[in-house]
Amino acid sequence: MCYGRCARCIGHSLVWLATLCIVANILLYFPNGETKYASDNHLSRFVWFFSGILGGGLLMFLPAFIFIGLDQEDCCGCCGHENCGKRCAMLSSILAALIGIGGSGYCVTVAALALEEGPRCMDASGQWNYTFANTEGDYLLDSSTWSQCVEPKHIVEWNVSLFSILLALGGIEFILCLIQVINGMLGGICGHCSSRQQQYDC
């Protein structure tokens, strides 16, 4: 197995996942395509935590591009031994993977808390509050209660859909970075590729 090639595949996947996280987070600011709720501070407080933009997005590009470049990276060699340098590069990728784990973990945590608390919306009495904050997330299983949010229209569906997407994307990023930790350890211990022939192929 070529560990560098595996890391490159993980890196490309993270780039796409991070981009989707950023898009999902940005959409949370515009319920029904309107900007007034953001300017009037009528959005869920967890939207302002930038979990998809920072945690699952921008922070994820760092490990992603490091993983993509591992196939060519050799840490400038190691006392003239290229394979030793590649082992060094694979081991150093573990630090980048840990950064990714931190970013994706943040994205997952914020998304989960946002889903549990529910959106900030105007109820039938005209008050803006967190209507489902005391339901401990039970509202997610009872869509008949979602009509308690009068404005913005369909805000519950909007929040549940986008935060669920962030939760799923962040979870996949977390798993991929965890795989790279294991891949980096194996690549550092066993060598960049598992055989001399593969070393040239990689």
Condensed to tens digits (0 to 9), the pLDDT of residues 152-161 reads 999 999 999 9
Compute the mean pLDDT over every residue in the chain, rounded to the nearest whole number: 88
pLDDT, position 37: 94
Residue 52, both tokens: 């998809």
pLDDT, position 89: 79
pLDDT, position 201: 40
Tell me the domain boundaries of the chain.
2-72+82-196
pLDDT in tens, 105-155: 999 999 999 999 999 999 999 999 999 999 999 999 999 999 999 999 999
16-20: average pLDDT: 98
d(CA 95, CA 83): 20
64-73, 100-109, 122-131: least confidently modelled range: 64-73
d(CA 49, CA 55): 9
pLDDT, position 189: 84
d(CA 9, CA 30): 33
Phi, psi (degrees; rounded to nearest 5) at 123: -90, -175
Model confidence at 198, pLDDT cuts 50, 70, 90, reads: very low
Smallest CA-to-CA distance from 43 within 54, 58, 32, 52 is with: 32
pLDDT in tens, 19-60: 999 999 999 999 989 999 999 989 999 999 999 999 999 999
Contact 54, 100 (CB under 8 A): no
pLDDT, position 188: 81
pLDDT, position 70: 82
Question: What pTM was estimated for this model as a whole?
Answer: 0.87
